[in-house]
Structure 1
Amino acid sequence: MRPFAQYLLIAAFPLSLLGSAVSQASDVELPSTMAWTAYGTNSSGYAQAVAIGNMLQNKYDSSVRILPGENDVSRMTPLKQGRVDLCACGIASYYGMEGVMMFADRDWGPQPIRVITTSTASFGLSLAVAGDLNVETPADLAGKRIAYIRGDDALNKGTEAYLAFGGLTWDDVERVDYPGYARSFDGIIAGDVDASFTTTVTPPAQQLASSPRGISWPVLDPDDEAGWERMAAVAPYFRPHEVTAGAGDISADNPLASASYPYPIVVANQDLEDNVAYGLIKALQENYDDYKDNAPGANGYALEYQDLQWVVPFHDAVVEYYKEIDVWTDEMQAHQDQLVERQQVLIDAWEQFLQEAPSDNDAFASEWMSARASALSDAGFEPIFE
């Protein structure tokens, strides 16, 4: 397990350095047209992709066609098939790299994904808790009724991570199953369940806040190293985050010590052309002021919000850009090399597993997860998902 300090956002870039270094990079070269997938048309992720696309069109005459997808499959399948250049994805991009959950399937397996950039904005990702329970920290959730959303691995993993921060597991709470995310918030308002995982700014959280039960958000003490280590063991993509936007009384004047991870996560396949990856990251950084205010959360692409030691490796050309502007360190390179090695271990294990994989789908997923864990452990990596 890496030391706690390395889980913090890498943000301390001198402003004078940022202003002077970018001019050292070569000119941006982008194709005349690109295709991206993103969340649905009513999402902030789609709006951000449109804002970035408008900037690329205006500055570089590069047209971006955005294909909305309502779920992880519809967003990531075109990327897997090479029909789009990029996906403005969610945390499923990490699951895809790891070959777990929906990707523990014979049609998927570990994906050769590389990050171009990410957005980390003012909201957090947390358990929304009924405000009448006096829950102050995740440890206070012991014995409470916690929503489990059938078929939504990302939300349930988030809940599990918050419980782990408080030293709890699903065995320490009362699990209440729901067929969908919105229904779980109806259940909290009705008094049938006590908490459900969400973003702090989502409409269901706002509805709960205005209900008779009200809303509260458990505080994650940034100095609780043991708590963060437990959370990271379950879901290493979470980072400490000062939340300044959210339902209830969260604001810039009343921030919440909580957690978050990037959204969207703009990813490509490993084989995306270097000039495209390099041109994109350079264009996004050098023209930040031209799109940062044009969509909710678009300000999260600023350099100071980029976590350069996150859980998915960067595209090689993006690394080259960060080297050119003198923000890439030896420690970051060592971390990048580990992530690339981990991904290769997974891909090799997958190819070997397919040679004698069972035909039954349930057995396939179970045996793959076992083979995956063994391969990672043998190579000195934590499986994380078992």
Structure 2
Amino acid sequence: MHRLARSLLLATLPVGLSLSGAAIAKEVELPNTMAWTAYGTGSSGYAQAVAIGGMLQSEYGTSVRILPGDNDVSRMTPLKQGRVDLCACGIASYYGAEGVMMFAHPDWGPQPLRVITTSTASFGLSLAVAGDLDVETPADLKGKRVAYIRGDDALNKGTEAYLAFGGLTWDDVERVDYPGYGRSFDGIIAGDVDASFTTTVTPPAQQLASSPRGISWPVLDPNDTEAWERMRAIAPYFRPHEVTSGAGGISADNPLPSASYPYPIVVANQDLDDKVAYGLIKALQEHHDDYKDAAPGAKGYALEHQDLTWVIPFHDAVVDYYQEIDVWTEEMQVHQDRLVKRQNLLLDTWEQFMSGEVPEEEDAFREAWMTARAEALTEAGFDPIFE
């Protein structure tokens, strides 16, 4: 529902009755065809997109074409160009919304992204540690050899966040650089490094668990407020999570207190048609039973797994839906409004920055942009997070 329509409707409601209490249901209206980008064909993200596409075809006659992308840029470029409706992305969608890391580039900058839905499943995201080191918490990593993956900002940020949970930085460990994620696990098995960031269910973690060194996962105390504050200062998208599946014997009967963030994160541009955004979230929630078992991780789209105060704003029509089913609170709206204000500030700052004299050299450009970005956010009362 458009903002004006909501305002006019509110004016007609009896005093004391909120829009959420009015339960104004709308029909699902979806186009005949849609295009999404997703992770590669062997990924759980791709399998989930296929499962959702099957549900949309069966229930609404909507054909979904899924374009696999090998990396974050290749997944998000078609969305930026308007060639696809949605991206079933990873945490790089947050970096794109913030205009940092690989998006602190003349071709990118902050993107006007809005969340449609996310999946938070039973696995966790953590540092996999060689099991022969008696590492019980992130603080125990001090002095250990920790993998740094060249060219993979998301993995390295995750590692940095785990170190921060333990009160550590890269200066407190021995950094060992690797050209790729898989190679770092070969390094752990070979005894050349001790830890690398991953999901608890990934094949390399399973391989490490079956190796002579074995595997362990640092425990994150969900009640250690100061540790979580340090972690979120580095990577605010992490949340406490009881992990119930993973290498090394993690199960529902042997859960691990750890951390996670959604994957995939289904995002659209803010100008995605309201009817499409509303139709998608309503279909995904009302027909969850029809696809939840069709792909690993698809159960994570259930309403109880949706974090409604996360780090990227929701599409306006998604907010409308959550108001309609009476789960949207005033606190959520305050959070949403602040995220939208931050996004608009970033977009305006980028436009002003690009209209001036900008360095041609890539590193100098990134440094200048990050400085301008941090100054604008700080002046407006926001934490830059990335500097």
TM exceeding 0.5: yes
The letter for the 2-side match of 1:325 is: I
Match of 2:363 in 1: 362
Match of 1:265 in 2: 265
Match of 1:327 in 2: 327
Q: Is the 8 A contact 1:22 1:325 kept in 2?
A: no
Match of 1:371 in 2: 372
- Mapped to 2, the partners of 1:156 and 1:363 lie a distance apart of 22
Within a 5 Å distance, the mapping from 1:16-35 to structure 2 comes to 25-35=25-35
Partner of 1:132: helix, strand, or coil?
A: coil
Give the deviation of 1:61 after TM superposition. 0.3
- Mapped to 2, the partners of 1:145 and 1:352 lie a distance apart of 43
The letter for the 2-side match of 1:321 is: Y
* Percentage identity across paired residues of the two chains: 83
- Mapped to 2, the partners of 1:217 and 1:142 lie a distance apart of 15
Match of 1:348 in 2: 348
Is 2:383 aligned against 1:385? no
The letter for the 2-side match of 1:347 is: L
Match of 2:13 in 1: none
Partner of 1:383: helix, strand, or coil?
A: coil
- Mapped to 1, the partners of 2:35 and 2:262 lie a distance apart of 21
Partner of 1:116: helix, strand, or coil?
A: strand
Within a 5 Å distance, the mapping from 1:134-145 to structure 2 comes to 134-145=134-145
The letter for the 2-side match of 1:365 is: R
Within a 5 Å distance, the mapping from 1:43-82 to structure 2 comes to 43-82=43-82
- Mapped to 2, the partners of 1:206 and 1:383 lie a distance apart of 37
- Mapped to 1, the partners of 2:281 and 2:268 lie a distance apart of 12
Deviations 1:261-285 (A, max 9, x none): 0000000000000000000000000
CA RMSD in angstroms, aligned pairs only: 1.0
Give the deviation of 1:358 after TM superposition. 1.4
Partner of 1:87: helix, strand, or coil?
A: strand
Alignment TM-score, normalising by the size of structure 1: 0.94
Q: What are structure 2's unaligned runs of at least 5 residues? A: 1-20
- Mapped to 1, the partners of 2:23 and 2:280 lie a distance apart of 15
Deviations 1:303-362 (A, max 9, x none): 000000000000000000000000000000000000000011111111111122112211
Within a 5 Å distance, the mapping from 1:306-321 to structure 2 comes to 306-321=306-321
Match of 2:112 in 1: 112
The letter for the 2-side match of 1:371 is: A
Partner of 2:132: helix, strand, or coil?
A: helix
Within a 5 Å distance, the mapping from 1:163-242 to structure 2 comes to 163-242=163-242
- Mapped to 2, the partners of 1:132 and 1:359 lie a distance apart of 49
Match of 1:151 in 2: 151
Partner of 1:73: helix, strand, or coil?
A: helix
Q: Is the 8 A contact 2:37 2:69 kept in 1?
A: yes
Q: Is the 8 A contact 1:205 1:215 kept in 2?
A: yes
Q: Is the 8 A contact 1:114 1:267 kept in 2?
A: yes
- Mapped to 1, the partners of 2:333 and 2:231 lie a distance apart of 24
The letter for the 2-side match of 1:62 is: T
Deviations 1:144-171 (A, max 9, x none): 0000000000000000000000000000
Q: Is the 8 A contact 1:36 1:64 kept in 2?
A: yes
The letter for the 1-side match of 2:374 is: A
Q: What are structure 1's unaligned runs of at least 5 residues? A: 1-20
Partner of 2:143: helix, strand, or coil?
A: coil
- Mapped to 1, the partners of 2:313 and 2:335 lie a distance apart of 8
Q: Is the 8 A contact 2:23 2:324 kept in 1?
A: no
Partner of 1:218: helix, strand, or coil?
A: coil
Within a 5 Å distance, the mapping from 1:83-102 to structure 2 comes to 83-102=83-102
- Mapped to 1, the partners of 2:300 and 2:251 lie a distance apart of 17
Q: Is the 8 A contact 2:241 2:259 kept in 1?
A: yes
Q: Is the 8 A contact 1:22 1:286 kept in 2?
A: no
Partner of 2:160: helix, strand, or coil?
A: helix
Aligned length: 366
Q: Which runs of 4+ in 1 moved over 6 A?
A: none
Q: Is the 8 A contact 1:184 1:193 kept in 2?
A: yes
